[in-house]
Amino acid sequence: MNELQLWHHARLATLAGSDWGLIDDGVVVTEGDRIRWVGPAAERPAELRPALTHDLGGLLLTPGLVDCHTHLVYGGQRADEAELRLNGASYEQIARAGGGIRSTVAATRAADEAALFDAAAARARALIAQGVTTLEVKSGYGLAAEAEARCLRVARRLGAELPVTVLTSYLGAHALPPEFDGRTDDYIDAVCAWLPALQAQGVVDAVDAFCDTIGFTPAQTRRVFEAAQRLGLPVKLHAEQLSDQGGAALAASFGALSCDHLEHLSADGIAAMRAAGSVAVLLPGAFYMLRETRLPPIDALRAAGVPMAVSTDHNPGTSPALSLPLMAHMACSFFRLTPLEAVQGITAHAARALGLADRGRLAAGQRADFALWRLSHPNELCYWFGGNPCRGTVVGGRATAAAAATAATLS
């Protein structure tokens, strides 16, 4: 039987309703990996007698953060391309000259599984240190059957060995590998053909694609989604980043969990996403690094009631970001999200973008994933940048080493 644990002497931001849900002198009672009760200390039911007690010393306790869009597994890095862009080259020019995603594909194919894991684990630990308890990882830098499988196995291993839940997305339709030059449709055939074996290996939770001028056409994307649908796998899409290809509406027609980037999203795309319940995932790191000027249609998404998530989009080319709170700050500064919207975007709405209803809020029945902060109010997550106020995480009711040390110090 799972023992009850009491997490007390904290200020809670439950995010369980339409506001911050602040509770001073709050208490969370957990049982196993679930929350049993949340509320003011004075109202804790007498029958909830904990076997373990954790004094949090007045820290702010929020739901664990959810990074719902990352490309964490890859070889090499692309600082040289960042310099080219700063000297005037566009993302498309670099990609068409053989750089961009293709350069990372070459480095990833050359790396063995151990090297890929070591590099990805270091990145994941950086995210965890800043409050992340759930993480999505895409493939898409192998672009060959075994290389894609290797990247997805590494992503699964991150979840097995680190204090974080990892979900995987198969992004075979990320770019055209060199061996398929001039044969894009043949490559899409291959992407679809690899999928059943990957699903059988248990390394795919969802299927993604890049539908844009330097990615794949809507017709090609549809074929990938049809392959996913046949296997019962949910889909998501890199959509409307560089142009309006109608990708969001296409993805929504397949009930997409999310459509991501969305700088060029149309009114029709917004309507389709609203009808499908798809989440809009905003990626301010890529917007910033590419020095984009066209903003996602935030006001229209807000008016339509489309939930907005925020993610790092960690990748080596356009968003080598390793701080989800920094992305919340950027979402407020660049996209004019309110602090509440941004924090919901890295908790409950990000969880929804992964098809997860059991996290992102502090409420009975939810997963016991928390982040501890030396902050007085959760709006400070969108205020400070350049430091790290996180004092540890609790994942599935288990304190990470940092959180355990913090509680021990404060006791």
**Residues 201 and 265 reside in one and the same domain:** yes
Structural domain containing residue 145 = 65-353
Q: Nearest Cα to 172, choosing from 205, 218, 207, 137?
A: 207
**Residues 183 and 312 reside in one and the same domain:** yes
Rg (alpha carbons) of the chain, rounded to whole number: 21
Tens-digit pLDDT profile for residues 14-53? 999 999 999 999 999 999 999 999 999 999 999 999 999 9
**Residues 398 and 337 reside in one and the same domain:** no
100: left (phi over 0), alpha (psi -120 to 50) or beta: left
**Residues 157 and 201 reside in one and the same domain:** yes
**Residues 301 and 223 reside in one and the same domain:** yes
85-114 per-residue burial string, b: 16 or more CB within 10 A, e: under 16? beeeeebeebbeeebbbbbbbebbbebeee
Q: pTM of the entire structure? A: 0.96
Tens-digit pLDDT profile for residues 76-126? 999 988 888 889 988 778 877 778 888 999 999 999 999 999 999 999 999
pLDDT value of residue 186:
98
pLDDT value of residue 405:
66
**Residues 110 and 154 reside in one and the same domain:** yes
pLDDT value of residue 1:
55
**Residues 232 and 345 reside in one and the same domain:** yes
**Residues 336 and 389 reside in one and the same domain:** no
| Alpha helices (runs of H) in 100-239, residue ranges in sequence order | 101-110, 113-128, 145-161, 184-200, 218-230
**Residues 339 and 375 reside in one and the same domain:** no
CATH code at 144?
Answer: 3.20.20.140
pLDDT value of residue 329:
98
CATH code at 377?
Answer: 2.30.40.10
pLDDT value of residue 151:
98
**Residues 378 and 328 reside in one and the same domain:** no
Q: Distance (Å, rounded) from C-alpha 102 to C-alpha 177?
A: 7
Q: Distance (Å, rounded) from C-alpha 364 to C-alpha 361?
A: 9
**Residues 344 and 375 reside in one and the same domain:** no
**Residues 170 and 23 reside in one and the same domain:** no
- Total of domains in the chain: 2
* Segments of the chain scoring below 50 in pLDDT: none
> What is the DSSP annotation of 226-288?
HHHHHTT--BEEEESSSS--SHHHHHHHTT-SEEEE-TT--HHHHHHHHHHT-EEEE-HHHHH
